[in-house]
Structure formats: C-alpha cells, structure tokens
Structure 1
Amino acid sequence: MKILKNDLLKESVKSFEINGLKVYVMEKNEFSIASAYFVIKYGSNDISFKFNDEKEFKRYPLGIAHFLEHKMFDGMGDDEVFKKFSDIGADVNAYTSNNITNYYFSTINNFEKSLEYLCDMIYNLKLTTERVDKEKPIIEQELKMYDDDPYNRVYRNLLSAMYNNHPVRFDIGGDVNTIKLIEKSHLEDCYNTFYSNNNMFLVLVGNVKAEECKEMLERFIVNKFSKNIVRQKFDMFDEISKHYVEQDMKMSVPTNLIGFKDVTRSTNYVKKFIIFEMIHRMFFRATSNFYEKIYKDGIINGSYYTDYINENEYGHYLFGGDGDLFKNLPEILFDHYNNYDFSKDKIVFDRVKKAMYGNYINLFNNIDHISQLMIKLIKNNLNIFDYFDELNKVTLDDVIFEFKSIFKEVNMVYSRVV
C-alpha cells in the first residue's frame, strides 16, 4: 500500500491496486459518514474510439454514456439497485459528464454491504432489448425538458457556435433523434470497452480504514480488463463558427451567456485550473472594480454569474446573466481591461492567493469537496496535494498571461435567448 502525505496539512491518501483497479482512500475518521465514488473514464465526449490494435475508429450515437448510466441501475428489474441501497440506509446516485461517469454512495452504518452492492452494479450489467426500448422515451422526455429550459438552451447554443468539431458542443444526453438509434449492442460494446479496471478508479473518503477497505475489495473487485483504448482526437482550436447566436423562446426578460474560448495549450492542468480561479476572484467577482462598475451601471443583476470549464482538450470562461443591458458587458470589459495596468494588482493577487490557501485547507473538512477535487485531479493523473504545490508556485505574471490570451474579441461568443 502506498501512502502519500502532506505534512503541513497533516493529511494523507493511501492507495493500492486490486486486479488492476486503482483505489484511493482518505481516512477521515472524525466523520460519521463514509462515501465511495466509482469513476469510469468514459463520458459523452467519447463518441469515437478504437482499440490500439485496430485501424478504424468506431463511432456511436450521441448519448450512450448517459443512457448506459441509466441502465446500470436496473439490476434484475427496473431501479432494483436504488431499492437495494435504500433498504440498508445508503444513498446512491450517479452522473455523466463530458469526460467521466461517476457512481457513488454515502452511508453511516452499512459501508461494507454498500460497497459490495456498488461493485456488483459496476461489474454486472444486465440488459435486455425490451428494457433498452423502454428507457428511450424516458430519456427523450428528460431531453425535451432540458430543451425547454432557457438556461440550458443558451449554454448549448454557445458551445455549438464555439466548437465546430469537438463533441463538447453536443448535449451530454444526446438528442431525441440520436437516442432512437441506440441499440442494446451499442451499450454492451461501450460497457465492455470502458467499464474495465484499466479505465476506472475508486475513491473512498470518510469514516473508513484503508486496510479494511482493501480486504473488502479483494472479495468484490472482478478481474476485468479491456485492450488499450484510443479515443479519437477532436480539434478544440478550430475557428469559432458564429460570434453571436440568438434563439426566440418568448422570454419576458432575455437570458444571456458570453463565452471566451481558451486558445492556449498547457500541459499543467492543475496550474491552469488554479489560474482561472484566481482570474475569477481577482477581476470578476463582487469585490472587483469591474463588478462594481457593471453593477452600478445596471448591466447585471442578481442573476449574474461567472464560471470556467477547464479540461485538457478544451476550456472556456463564461459570463451569464439576465436582462437587456447585459449585451453591453463585452464592450465594457474590453474598455476596462485593454489598457489596464495589471501590475498594480500585486496586493490583490497576494490576498486572493492567501484566501485560496484557506479555502483549500477548509476543503478537508467536507467529504464531498475532498472527493470532487480528488476525482478531478486523479482523472488527469494528479493527486489532491498537487493543488497545494502548484498554488504556491503560481505568479501574477502567470495570471496576466492567461487573462490577456483568452479575453479577446476573436475568442468571444455571445449567446442570447429572448
């Protein structure tokens, strides 16, 4: 068993492998809750792939990763898995993102049995054509509900304009047409390819002991491997197809989303993740001069938000909000920062860096926050303590470089639903 420690934080992560599955354990025995997160490195972006000994890529209908997540909970009957967990007092759920599918539970009293159930679910998919066909209208209804949501539409429209080829432009669940194309054989192919020990990892956090977990998992983990997977690469640096997109949904108040496409390549995932959190805190949150200006001018209201999506293959920074005056935000942003003296923000930078240290330390008092950061970093071949090390090394010059690289008119897409 390997032990990774941070003496300053007085925290550690223990890790081991069982049948090739990597397991990471953070013992937080001061908590009563124990949680497990079974992460498959397979998401909605994985629409075209092959094994390394094959010549041609295989392309599958959109939405399979999300569809498969739904069917994993059937067991021997519809939603049987939910009932099994509920009967022993454990909460179980899952989500599909662009890059992973995550199955997780939390419990106080029945951790071993819950872990057995979770492993059984992952390794024993049971599909029938009838159940696949039965699921299609359920997912179609879910997708139609999202299509009627203006906030979902404004985001999907923005990504469709920002990325011409990358599958991040598509909805995670696919669409009503692609769902109809999904067959039982598609689901089985993708399950057998991606739900294998060399493409998954397990994170355990809370009131657990690593040695006991290892003993349990030696009974629960199946020896399941696939050949090496090669995912088709899509160009995130292609030209933006539209810089403005509008959709009429008969809104009484328009909703807006402005996105700036990240166009700089980086091999240091966690550093970039930290830098854009700093950009958010230094230049766009409620304590910044820019925020004060756009608030006083009525450009934004209580619906205003910013966010940054940071992945190895793509990234974008977002400004969202409701109201007609929001359309003036890009012009004000460029006017404010085009001739801005960033060097004067050294004090602000130091203050934000200290605050981020504090937030990072406090993160270890919350099981959900611990696990989400662990998952984000592990899937990128990093560990939770890398964040601390990189935060220490980031400079104001790093922040200025990324800021000036991304916030340009040529990188901007404005999506609006009216």
Structure 2
Amino acid sequence: MTAPTFPMHVSVDDARTHLTALLPARTAETVPLAQAYGRTLAADVPALVSHPSATESALDGIAAREADTLGASADAPARLRVIGESRAGAAFGGTVGAGECVRIYTGAPLPAGADAICPVEQLTDDGPDGVLLRRPASPADVRVEGGDFRAGEVVLHAGQHLTAPRLALAAALGHAQLSVQRRLRVALLSTGDEVVPPGQPLTAGQVYDSNSVGLHAMLLEAGCEVLPLGHAPDSPKALQAAIDAAGGADVLLTSGGVSMGKYDFMRDLLVEQGRVSFWKVRMRPGGPAILGGWNGLPVFGLPGNPVSSLVVFHVIVRPALTGQPPQTLRLRAATPFRALPDKTAFWRGVVDGGQVRDYGQQGSGILRSLSDAGALVIVPEGQAVQAGDDVDVILL
C-alpha cells in the first residue's frame, strides 16, 4: 500500500462528520400513516383538532356539581336525582342543576352545569331516579377540552423518528399522511473467503455470515432501504464487480477486508483505485473502519469481526444515517471499566437497577456479548471509570 495521503486514526465524532458529509441531502416525500413507521419526519406536524375535542369524563359514573356532593361518605352518602345520561357520540343536551346528576361514561362530553365526576364504584342506586354517592365528586376526573393538545399547536417536529406512539399521536392530530424524509438506499456487502451463508456445512476456519444478517436488521431499524449484494470472496476482481453492482444506492456498507492484513483487499481498492476520507478510528472495538468512495458512491467499510462491525454501526453509521446522535443514559458504574490511552472504549455492560456492570468478555469475536450485555459503556481516552462513578451508556 502506498503512503497514506488521508486522515488516519480519526475520532469517533470526526468519523460521523465525515460520513454525514458524503450522504446525499434528504428530500421529502408524503406517505400514508401505514407506511410511515420507522421514518423520519421532514416537517413539523400541527394538530388539526383539539384533544379532547370537548370537556369530557375520564371515568364511568355520574356527572354532577361538586358543591352538591361535598361531605359525602360511606356513612353519610349524598343523594342526587338522575336526569339523563351522556355517552360518547350522544351527549346530554340539558343542564345539570342543584341536586341533579347525569350518568356518564368514559369519553362522554360533560353536561352543562356539571363540573365533577363520581366513579361508578362509589355509587348505589336509590330508587328509579336517584343515586347515592359514598364520596364527593371530583373535578380531577374531568378531562378539559384541549388538555392534551389544541388545534394549531405543533405537536410533532421535523427530525423526529416515527415510533408507534408517535404514529398514533399523528392519527389523533388528524393526519392521514405525513411528510417524511426519503429513505436512504444502502447497499450491503459482506466479504471474506471464510464467510459462509447460514445453513451450509462449515469446514475448519469458516464462519457463518452473521454480519450481513445483523447489519440488514439494523439498517431496517434505522429506516433505510436495503439493497443486499450478498457476499464476495477475498479477490480484488470479485470485490470490484460487487461494488459496481451497487448502482442506485446512496451509500455502500461493507464488512471485512479493511484492516492491516495481506488479504484486506477492500482497503486496497479504496486506497489505490478509489478515494479515502479516513482510515481507522480511535475506538475499540472497531478501529480499522474505513470511509471512502468508488466512482462517486460513498463506501463505508466495517471491520469483519462481528462485534466490531455491529458496534461501529451503532456508534458511527446509524447516527449518520438517521441524523440522530446515539441515545445515551447516565448510570452508576457497579464495576470498574478500564480506559485505553489513545482510544475511546465501548465496553459491553449489563444494566441492572440503575447501574451498569462489566459484561466480562470484551473480545471482538464474542458475538453473544452484544445479545447478553445490552449496553455499551463509553470510556473516554485515558479516563478510567471506577466503581461508583457515573458513566454514559448506549443501550443496544
């Protein structure tokens, strides 16, 4: 390999910045709610209606004037006269006066004159038109019109990831479709002579292709459209043919072939025939990652070790693809976490009761650790974490 003319050993933040700069500008498209899950909002979403649309009951029971029920108890119940009912879709049209009440059901509009609710569990019928209250009616059980949101209020914001609760909220706001960012089209390629598709027999030294399976799922979770390119052996000609097949993609994501070895041909192709933005990141696991380009196509090369590949995706690639930084929590360290003098460490940890402890096995080939541990503990360069210290954690 020729002497490098590109940055090496960049920081994690710089790696994200470099990748983000190579991605195309996001355009917007409008899709139905049923197609919006996992997408990113391209525009603010205002409420088209107020919610609740009317002042209503939060409970089944009776609607009454609070003043008529003060002092009601099991030993001395208050009696009110029932003059009608209010239910969702059929509101009571009259006015509740002194000593009167209306039977009401959850979500039904509160009748004029009433200002409080007594739940059905605290009521006893008393004759054909009477009811006894064993406790006072409470204004706290009244939902005020617009108490959740009011028409015209911006409730969801551009840049937010559309989760199931946010989609439900968008529907409640009155929207049947949303403006979202166009999905990035990510071509995915795994490499290596030793890599075999799951389900086939293995010979000595071979491994199943776990990287492409995990990365494919993570790309879908990040809201991307995935173009699977399958697998390419350790051959410059085969790798070049595979890369050339990524036409139409916004970015190519590869795994393997980017480290220091003689057969790391993905690295050599980018260095000698393509373009390199950086090689190697000051992080562990995942240091050998490379970012470059091939005939105008951005190429991000992940390490081949399974843990390294998936951790680099979590820490660098996903934030660039989604435009969202990694979501971190500040937790108390239950065990020490060692520091590296010149790299940020992302050690696997187990979260338990507001604390995080060292998973133990931190080798980049221990794939089960990402499933069992559930968190990455961020240890900055040269700053060891002692038991009892607070530490930033990325949940997996």
Fold conserved between structures, TM > 0.5: no
Ranked by relative contact order (alpha carbons within 8 Å, sequence separation 6 or more), the top structure is: 1
Q: TM-score, normalised by structure 2?
A: 0.25
Q: TM-score, normalised by structure 1?
A: 0.24
